[in-house]
């Protein structure tokens, strides 16, 4: 039920209640007024009848004259009726109006004949009252008859039929009902018109404009007519729309300014990263260049033997390879190489990485423990890229461990991978790579995979190793995360799908992935 209907129903209900109460009170008041008028008029009439009956019946004892007297007082068809009783309570005379009630059925005398005069004959005092019939109201008075010596000789009943009075009350009631119905109809029509013009239409317009606002049509406004509350509401709505437009324009401007500042910040961060990278590369490349320059100058001072030439040229070549490896690492960090998937035996791959780094592990007296590799299935992966991941992890452990350190590598298959991993895989290979080195500080653990972030000294690493590894694992549809407790351990956990989906996962990685990378060479510096 809409608001307009509710208002009209409420108005009609109030009107009906008011008219009902008013009609009831009016009819009650009319009945009381009529009863009061009847009682006053009948009191005087009964005094006249009492005097006449005392003369004709009590003093003369003449029933014929008594009959003529009451017939004159209440003739045929009259609304008054008179019945005379003797001292024993037996009726001795009826007025003509009482004898011919059959000719006027609306003046039925039966209720009057049922009245009992004995209470008056016993007490000698007159009484009055009302008889309520379905469509009639009868007022009666019962008075004693005494002779000239004030001796009680009988009683009489004087009654008046109130049919016309009742009809008048019924007409008034019908008139009130008719007036109420007409008033309800007229007020309903008038209320419907006023509510529709002043309430329903403006509110529907307000609802329509609110819906338009929800569709980003804030430039719409409501036409204001009048000065009532609905007009005030429309005025406030238009003001709110104006403020929303201003706020929206301000927010758009602030957002654009924020984007501009973020772009400048990212540019500044890139410049800072390039600066940090340049500082590291300057030291990394400067040392082998100095060696190359020194060896070249040594060879140019005077002729050298073949053995000296071979030794110095070997040093120059090794330092040139070192510079090439550093440059290659930087290039691999900046370019994308799509992985080439093929079946890979993880244990064989890890043994190969361990063999490549055997001299570094031996020099630092670091022990490698491997467990859980028996019965592992082959996985679809790029062996060169996975080799680079494990070389980077080994490099981190070599930097963090001292003599006597331990590297623990474990693997197992599981049905559950990480939520970030490829949704098309059903079986996973979980690989843990743990060392008992110095660990990672809590304030650094959230940044270990960020490009150019490193805790190593300048010249010991460029901060690219773990970023490269993160990108490789992502390209394989897996995930990698780190756990560490400073002074006790650092553990990298890798999840890899045992089988790649038909569409390789790397093609679904967005262009803003952290790192896409290529091969890694043994002995390259990485960072934690």
| Mean pLDDT score across all residues of the chain | 76
With cut-offs at 50, 70 and 90, classify the pLDDT of residue 505.
very low
Of 110-124, 317-331, 399-413, 422-436, the range with the lowest mean pLDDT is 317-331
Of 192-196, 418-422, 441-445, the range with the lowest mean pLDDT is 418-422
Q: Do 309 and 164 reside in the same domain of the chain?
A: no
Q: Do 227 and 350 reside in the same domain of the chain?
A: no
Contacts of 336 (CB under 8 A, 6+ apart): 516
Q: Do 44 and 158 reside in the same domain of the chain?
A: yes
- Please report whether residue 186 resides in a domain: no
Q: What is the DSSP letter of 198?
A: I
Q: How far apart, in Å, are the Cα atoms of 195 and each of 11, 203, 224? A: 11, 11, 16
Q: Do 263 and 279 reside in the same domain of the chain?
A: yes
| Residue closest to 121 by CA, chosen among 87, 94, 162, 78 | 87
Q: Do 344 and 484 reside in the same domain of the chain?
A: yes
Q: How far apart, in Å, are the Cα atoms of 42 and each of 50, 227, 271, 304? A: 12, 63, 121, 165
Q: How far apart, in Å, are the Cα atoms of 165 and each of 16, 104, 139, 248? A: 26, 16, 11, 78
- CATH at 470: 3.30.565.10
- Please report whether residue 212 resides in a domain: no
The count of structural domains within the chain is: 3
405 vs 285 pLDDT, higher one: 405
pTM: 0.39
- Please report whether residue 519 resides in a domain: no
With cut-offs at 50, 70 and 90, classify the pLDDT of residue 142.
very high
Q: Do 272 and 401 reside in the same domain of the chain?
A: no
| Residue closest to 280 by CA, chosen among 475, 111, 50, 526 | 526
Q: Do 305 and 377 reside in the same domain of the chain?
A: no
Domain containing residue 316: 218-334
Please state, in angstroms and rounded to a whole number, the distance separating the CA atoms of residues 183 and 193.
Answer: 15
Q: In the beta sheet, which residues pair with residue 491?
A: 434, 483
Q: Identify the burial level of 198 via C-beta atoms within 10 angstroms of its C-beta, where 0-12 means exposed, 13-18 middle and 19 or more buried.
A: middle
Q: Do 330 and 372 reside in the same domain of the chain?
A: no
For residue 409, what pLDDT is reported? Answer: 94
For residue 418, what pLDDT is reported? Answer: 52
For residue 501, what pLDDT is reported? Answer: 65
For residue 520, what pLDDT is reported? Answer: 36
Please state, in angstroms and rounded to a whole number, the distance separating the CA atoms of residues 329 and 517.
Answer: 9
Query: Is residue 416 scored above 70 in pLDDT?
Result: no
Q: Do 420 and 371 reside in the same domain of the chain?
A: yes
Give the pLDDT confidence of 257-289 residue by residue, as tens digits: 887 876 676 555 445 545 545 555 665 677 678
Query: Is residue 67 scored above 70 in pLDDT?
Result: yes
Q: Do 232 and 164 reside in the same domain of the chain?
A: no
Of 123-137, 441-455, 497-511, the range with the lowest mean pLDDT is 497-511
Q: Do 373 and 255 reside in the same domain of the chain?
A: no
Q: Do 358 and 317 reside in the same domain of the chain?
A: no
Query: Is residue 510 scored above 60 in pLDDT?
Result: no
Q: What are phi and psi of 84, to 5 degrees?
A: -110, 135
């Amino acid at each position: 039920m809409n608001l307009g209907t509710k208002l009209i129903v409420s108005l009609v209900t109030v009107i009906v209640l008011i008219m009902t109460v008013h009609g009831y009170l009016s009819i009650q008041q009319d009945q009381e007024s009529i009863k009061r008028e009847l009682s006053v008029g009948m009191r005087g009439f009964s005094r006249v009848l009492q005097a006449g009956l005392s003369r004709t019946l009590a003093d003369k004892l003449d029933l014929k004259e008594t009959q003529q007297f009451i017939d004159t007082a209440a003739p045929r068809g009259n609304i008054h009726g008179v019945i005379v009783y003797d001292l024993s309570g037996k009726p001795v005379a009826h007025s003509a109006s009482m004898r011919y009630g059959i000719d006027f059925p609306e003046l039925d005398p039966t209720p009057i004949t049922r009245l009992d005069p004995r209470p008056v004959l016993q007490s000698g005092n007159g009484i009055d009252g009302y008889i309520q019939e379905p469509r009639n109201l009868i007022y009666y008075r019962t008075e004693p008859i005494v002779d000239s010596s004030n001796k009680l000789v009988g009683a009489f009943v004087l009654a008046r039929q109130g049919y016309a009075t009742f009809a008048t009350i019924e007409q008034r009631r019908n008139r009130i009902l008719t007036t109420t119905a007409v008033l309800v109809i007229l007020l309903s029509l008038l209320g419907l018109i006023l509510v529709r013009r002043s309430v329903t239409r403006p509110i529907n317009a307000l609802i329509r404009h609110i819906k338009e606002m929800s569709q980003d049509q804030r430039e719409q406004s409501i036409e204001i007519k009048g000065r009532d509350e609905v007009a005030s509401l429309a005025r406030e709505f238009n003001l709110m729309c104006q403020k929303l437009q201003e706020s929206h324009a301000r927010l758009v401007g602030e957002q654009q300014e924020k984007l501009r500042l973020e772009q400048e910040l990212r540019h500044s961060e890139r410049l800072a990263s390039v600066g940090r990278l340049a500082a590291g590369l300057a030291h990394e490349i400067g040392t082998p260049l100095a060696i190359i320059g020194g060896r070249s100058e040594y060879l140019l001072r005077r002729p050298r033997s073949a053995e000296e030439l071979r030794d110095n040229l070997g040093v120059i070549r090794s330092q040139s390879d070192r510079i090439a490896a550093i440059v290659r690492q930087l290039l691999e960090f900046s370019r994308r190489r799509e992985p080439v998937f093929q079946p890979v035996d993880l244990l064989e791959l890890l043994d190969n990485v361990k063999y490549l780094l055997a001299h570094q592990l031996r020099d630092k007296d670091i022990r490698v423990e491997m467990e859980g590799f028996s019965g592992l299935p082959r996985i679809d992966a790029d062996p060169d890229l996975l080799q680079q991941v494990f070389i980077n992890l080994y490099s981190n452990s070599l930097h963090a461990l001292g003599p006597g350190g331990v590297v623990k590598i474990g693997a197992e298959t599981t049905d559950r991978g990480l939520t970030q991993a490829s949704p098309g895989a059903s079986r996973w290979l979980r690989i843990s790579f743990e060392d008992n080195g110095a660990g990672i500080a809590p304030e650094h653990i959230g940044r270990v995979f960020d490009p150019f972030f490193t805790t190593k000294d300048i010249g010991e690493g460029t901060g690219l190793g773990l970023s490269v590894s993160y990108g490789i694992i992502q390209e394989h549809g897996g995930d990698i995360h780190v756990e560490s407790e400073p002074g006790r351990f650092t553990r990298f956990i890798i999840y890899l799908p045992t089988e790649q989906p038909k569409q390789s996962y790397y093609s679904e990685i967005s262009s803003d992935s952290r790192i896409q990378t290529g091969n890694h060479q043994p002995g390259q510096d990485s960072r934690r």
